[in-house]
Amino acid sequence: MPTGWPGSPFNVSCNMENGGGWTVFQRRTDGSTSFYQNWTAYKEGFGDSRNLWLGNEKLHYLTNQRNYKLRFDITTSSGSAKYAEYTKFQIESESSNYTMNKLGSRSGNTGDQLSYNKGQQFSTHDRDNDGCVSFNCAEKHRSGWWHSDSWCSSCNSNSYCYNFQYSSKCKSTCTTENLNGVYNGGNGEMIFSHYHTYCNVQFVEMKIRPSS
């Protein structure tokens, strides 16, 4: 029950590895739960123990109690374990569309592509907050996420997992980190980390803990 939380206490999934004390707010292990959900679902949370999104409202209250850090672990399509850990992580309230307003320095080996999502508002297919005038990034990437508009006007022909078909001649992308995309267990597209380096990850878990 986070400080200031207006509702009833809620259960969370914990991870006691890598120093322990991690509160898990996202997990993907298989394709049984769709992450192509609407604004209300991402706000309130959805899923089960295998595949979950805790909920943006809970994530906001949790990360505004004190200083929090973020870690995510992935298992690549080839079975390699990778991780990234950020010294700061904070999500603003719904009135600011759950903007990721803090993301600290990174350690780890997945690449630093989440830094492009810092300062971005959360978007879903029914609530377009990405700033891209060409299309709805959440719809194109099939996920609720802090989609960036840094590359949404790009046009290329590469068939990497972070690209989608924009027109008959162009493929484009909104983000280079999309851990809520369509899960295909290493055989499909749309769930990826660090551009096309780690495409179609088999497992991902995102979690937070107090940094001090």
Rounded to whole angstroms, the Cα distance separating 137 from 154 reads 13
- The proportion of the chain whose per-residue pLDDT surpasses 90, expressed as a percent, equals 78
Structural domain range at position 74: 13-210
Cβ 53 vs Cβ 46: under 8 Å: yes
Q: Is residue 3 part of a domain?
A: no
Q: How many CB atoms lie within 10 A of CB 105?
A: 10
- As for how many domains the chain has, the answer is 1
| Residue 27 in domain | yes
133 contacts 125 by C-beta, under 8 angstroms: no
Residue 4 belongs to some domain of the structure: no
Q: Is residue 86 part of a domain?
A: yes
Summarize pLDDT for 112-145 with one digit per residue, the tens: 899 999 999 999 999 999 989 888 999 999 999 9
**82-97 residue pLDDT tens:** 999 999 999 999 999 9
Show Cβ contacts of residue 70 under 8 Å, excluding neighbours closer than 6 positions: 85, 86, 88, 89, 103, 206, 207, 208
Q: What is d(CA 134, CA 185) in angstroms, rounded to the nearest whole number?
A: 30
Can you give the C-alpha Rg of the chain in angstroms? Answer: 16
Q: Find out whether 114 and 108 touch, Cβ atoms under 8 Å.
A: no
d(CA 45, CA 55): 4
**Domain assignment of residue 71, yes or no:** yes
pLDDT at res. 188: 59
Q: Region 7-23: what's the mean pLDDT?
A: 96
Query: Residue 156 domain-assigned?
Result: yes
CATH number of the structural domain spanning residue 164: 3.90.215.10
CA distance 68 to 58: 14
Burial of 195 (0-12, 13-18, 19+ CB in 10 A): middle
DSSP assignment of 16-71, as one string? -STTS-EEEEEEESSSSS-----HHHHHH-EE-SSSEE--HHHHHHHHTSS-EEEE
pTM metric for this prediction: 0.95
Residues whose CB is less than 8 angstroms from the CB of residue 201 and which lie 6 or more positions away in sequence, other chains included: 28, 74, 75, 76, 77, 179, 186, 191, 192, 193
Query: Can you read off the two tokens belonging to residue 142?
Result: 């099939």
pLDDT of res. 187: 59
5 within a domain of the structure (yes/no): no
Per-residue model confidence (pLDDT) at position 186: 64
Within a domain: 1: no
